Amino acid sequence: MRPVRWLGLGAMAALAISCDAGPKSGELAVEVATSRADLGALRFTVVAEAPETVDSLSATCAGCRVFWVRVTPQQIRGVLTGELADGPAFRVLVSNRKLVEAYSVAVNQAAARDYQLTSTANTRLEIPGQQ
């Protein structure tokens, strides 16, 4: 009877280890990095390498708002508005938070707080933990 117990315990341990090794959906933080003091809006794109997916966004910066649309399971386009500065921007819900390198964020356009389009040269969105 003892060998059966050990076999059962071994099977449960193997199952627990294999469950932990699989994909883990969750959120990734995205941060603004800019030298601009008057940044008021960013139009951006979030992309996942297939088969990974991006599901939704939520703003994390103080006093800002994010508007977005899921174009495909691998792409979200959005606009972030507010008094934007270096620091937290938004969180993106992804299919596998363990594969940080499978996700990218690009700034497509930027606007100052007076609504004038401005250069994106010194402004980017970053996912901490990427190389």
Which of the four pLDDT bands, split at 50, 70 and 90, describes residue 23? confident
Provide mean pLDDT across the span 39-64: 97
Please give the CATH number for the structural domain made up of 23-126: 2.60.40.680
Q: How far apart are CA 121 and CA 5, in angstroms?
A: 64
Q: What is the pTM of this model?
A: 0.82
Question: In percent, how much of the chain has pLDDT > 90?
Answer: 80
Count H helices, E strands: the chain? Answer: 1, 9
Domain boundaries, the chain: 23-126
For residue range 63-122, list pLDDT tens digits in order.
999 999 999 999 999 999 999 999 999 999 999 999 999 999 999 999 999 999 999 999
